[in-house]
Structure 1
């Protein structure tokens, strides 16, 4: 009965929410996960553009032939952020920070280039998707750059 009274004396609406500090590795891994969802859904939703499937069936995507080189390049572009989820959660701090700074910085121009050759009729779609992806990459860069440091011990 005592615990019941203590619980009802401090209802949830008047209590302060606990704000735990999340490790930077988890924040960065979550950002790469969000980036991947956007990356995949942008490619998926592009299938709904008129004529896209016809071009795909004819063997071209954005004027590129869909041969082995294109498929390998596309897989590489997808595999790097996918692997960054795991690497961000598992690598030691110094290496983790360095790799995240390098990969996120490299993916900003890659992300912007993905809209090259798109029509203006889909400019809102690509502006929104690229904007969100770049924001996530900026979050990764900021999180890695401001990685908390421990004071040096004597």
Structure 2
């Protein structure tokens, strides 16, 4: 008789999931932009000193480096900031970047749109992971099969299953 192998699976810390998602998004971010350099129209615009509606200059390049620096720093900050701040920052930054990336993909070639859709999907995953961040009550042990519930500000009560209360266990 064949035996079934059961694998031990642990919940991954949301900080690691979010940091990994920022890393994946940044890889795609860079690849999509680099692949654009293979296009004649993009190279011609660059030679003319333009990118889309922008003139390439110090102001534009400073804006670009700041735009790329934010998600790069979110990778680190997601690992080191307090949970409450990390949660809020990831929701806000992911939402802003999802909108800007989606807007930049309008009218672009298919590779750019596909890359942007994947980037936006990763950003939605970041925001979702931050939104559903586990609370202390999700990880507290519950004796006798009970469940924790909030009873007021910073108050926790243990609800014990009905049958355990009546049986005296």
Determine which structure has the larger strand proportion and give its number: 2
Q: Name structure 2 gaps, 5 residues minimum.
A: 138-153, 157-169
Aligned to 1:3: none
Q: Distance in 2 between matches of 1:75 and 1:116?
A: 22
Aligned to 1:140: 126
Instruction: Give, in angstroms, the shift of residue 117 of structure 1.
Output: 5.4
Q: Distance in 2 between matches of 1:131 and 1:142?
A: 16
SS at match of 1:48: coil
The TM-score, its normalising length taken from structure 1, stands at 0.83
Aligned to 1:46: 36
| Matched residue count | 139
Runs of 4+ in 1 over 4 A off after TM superposition: none
The TM-score, its normalising length taken from structure 2, stands at 0.76
Q: Tell me: higher relative CO, structure 1 or 2? Use CA pairs within 8 A at least 6 residues apart.
A: 1
Instruction: Give, in angstroms, the shift of residue 77 of structure 1.
Output: 1.1
Instruction: Give, in angstroms, the shift of residue 138 of structure 1.
Output: 0.6
Q: CA RMSD in A?
A: 1.8
Contact (CA 8 Å) 1:62, 1:117: kept in 2 or not?
no
Q: Distance in 2 between matches of 1:27 and 1:134?
A: 16
Deviations 1:9-38 (A, max 9, x none): x99xx4222212110000000000001001
Aligned to 1:35: 25
Q: Name structure 1 gaps, 5 residues minimum.
A: 1-9
SS at match of 1:20: coil
